[in-house]
Structures are given as structure tokens and as C-alpha cells.
Amino acid sequence: MNENLILLAVFTAVLLAAFSTISALVQRRDVQRNIEGTKRREGADKNNELLATGNEKLRYYLDVVANEGPNSVRMRLVRAGFYDKSALLRFNLIRFTSVATVFAVVQTGLPRLVPSLSGNLILVLSLCLAGITFIACSFVLEKMGDKRLREYRKIFPDLLDLLLVCVDSGLSIDAAFDRVTREFLNTVPDFGMQLSIVNLEIRAGRPMHEALYNLSERIAVEEARNLAVLFRQSEELGSSVAKTLRTFANEMRQMRIIQAEEKANTLPVRMLFPMAFFMFPVSLIIVLVPIMISLVSLLQQMAPG
């Protein structure tokens, strides 16, 4: 038991030392990147106006997008929907606690389950499972981000429908976007915050198609990029924005129907293997068992004596 405690203490000390070193390096890199980003953004009135908003989550999001790389932990946390400044600390705390718990459980529980295992083998297994847990935390965070991006892709056709209703009622496209943004902030806050950034960019003087293109880059929705192209063509050619929205909304509805039909057509193939492995043996047993019982009873009656 003392050896296990010593090994756990050594593992915890090494993990804390590695975590402290990595955190110091990351903080130094972030400070350097913030300094360079501040130098690049000097005199940029538009960015200053965007960052002057009172929404702390929005300010934090814009700061992360401007200063962090696409694969950084803070960027992945933002992509997963965590817009709090303490999200990184909580995530590292959860990850460290999970790793330490797995290591301690395996180190103390495995000798009781399998007493024949040597101490070195148990230590190696504990370290391997702890490492897998560390990677699994990042994997779960990536999956949460991918799920949120899929939700954005599902919500985008509803955005077009609401914009079309507002434009048909007489609002301008900027006023319609502002009205729809306030609606989404009450129903889907994460997507509403993305639309708030579009509104702030438009108020700062950025064209609609550029703001929508930036939106497509943030949420990785191809339809937003297509809408940005349509708005740009509408502005260059002088066509009606309402007609553009109506045409694109109809295309999105048709695309939804086509995607639903594709999923419906793939259902028989997807159901084939579960039916073959689970339902067919049960049906076979239901059919054959009464026959086998009847045959056994008949053979018993035909037996001599």
C-alpha cells in the first residue's frame, strides 16, 4: 500500500510539473501573440467598436478568435459553446482530476482483482489508461464542438425563413437581421451570439456579404458562404434582396427535403444488419422451438418401453 502511495505521489508530482511547464509556455506564447495582435490592430476603428460592446461573452469570443489558433484549447472550448474566461481552468481541472482518478483506481484496484500481476506491469497499465483518459477528454471536447456545428447547420434554414418574413413585412435587410438576432438570442443563445457579431460588423460599416462570409468561416456552414455570394451579386447587379432571399430559402427547403429523402432511403440498408443479427435468430427460434418440442415428444412416444 505504501508503494502504491509513493507511485501515486510521484505520478501526481510529475503530472503537476508537466502541467505547470506547459501552462507557462502557453501563457508566454499567448502574451507574445497578444502583443503582436495589439500592434497589428492599432488604429483599426472597426475592431475597437466591436470590442467596445458590453457583452463579456462576446468580447471573450472575439478575443479568442483574434488571438488563438484554430487548434488551441481555448478555441476548441469556444467552438464547443464555452464562452467563459474560466472555461480553460475548469477544463484542465476536470482533465487532471479524471487522469488522477483513473490512475489511482487502476493502481489500487487492479492488484486486488488480479493479484498475480507484477507491480511494474500494473504501473504501466495505470499510466497507459491515464494517458488514454487524457486523450479522451480532448476527444469529447472535439465531439461537442462538432455537434454544435451540426446544430448551426440545422438552424440556418430557419434563419433564412425568419429573414424572409421580416423583409416581406417591410423591414430593411439590416433591420431584419437585427430583429432575427434578438429572437435567436432568446431561443438559441449560441447561434444568436454569432448573429450578434454579424450585426456589429454591419454597424461598423462592413458590407453584408463580408459579414456573412466571416460567419461562414466561424460556424463552418457552407450555406452561409453561399448566401454571402448571393448578397454580393445582388448588390452588384442591383436586384431585389427579397427575391434573392426567397429563391435561396426555397432552395434550402428543397435541399432539406432531399437530405431527408436520402436518409430515408438509407434506412433499409442500415436496418439490414441489426435485423440479421438480432431479429432473425429470435424469429428462427420462435419458429423452430415448437417444431423441435413436437419432434422430441413424438420420438419419446415411439421409443420402446
pLDDT digits (tens, 9 = 90+) for 130-156: 888 888 888 888 888 888 888 888 888
Helical spans, DSSP H, in the chain: 2-40, 45-51, 56-67, 73-79, 87-113, 119-168, 173-187, 189-203, 208-219, 222-237, 241-274, 280-302
What local confidence, expressed as pLDDT, does residue 40 receive? Answer: 54
Within 10 angstroms of residue 144's Cβ, the number of other Cβ atoms is 16
Asked whether the CA dihedral 183, 188, 194, 197 is positive or negative, the reply is positive
What is the pLDDT confidence band of residue 11, given thresholds at 50, 70 and 90? low
pTM of the model: 0.61
C-alpha–C-alpha distance, residues 91 and 72, integer Å: 13
What local confidence, expressed as pLDDT, does residue 226 receive? Answer: 82
Contact (Cβ atoms closer than 8 angstroms) between residue 192 and residue 177:
no
Phi/psi at 110 (5° precision): -65, -40
Whole-angstrom CA distances from 183 to 24, 177, 195, 266 are 42, 10, 10, 35
Q: How many Cα atoms within 13 Å fall on the side-chain side of residue 169?
A: 10
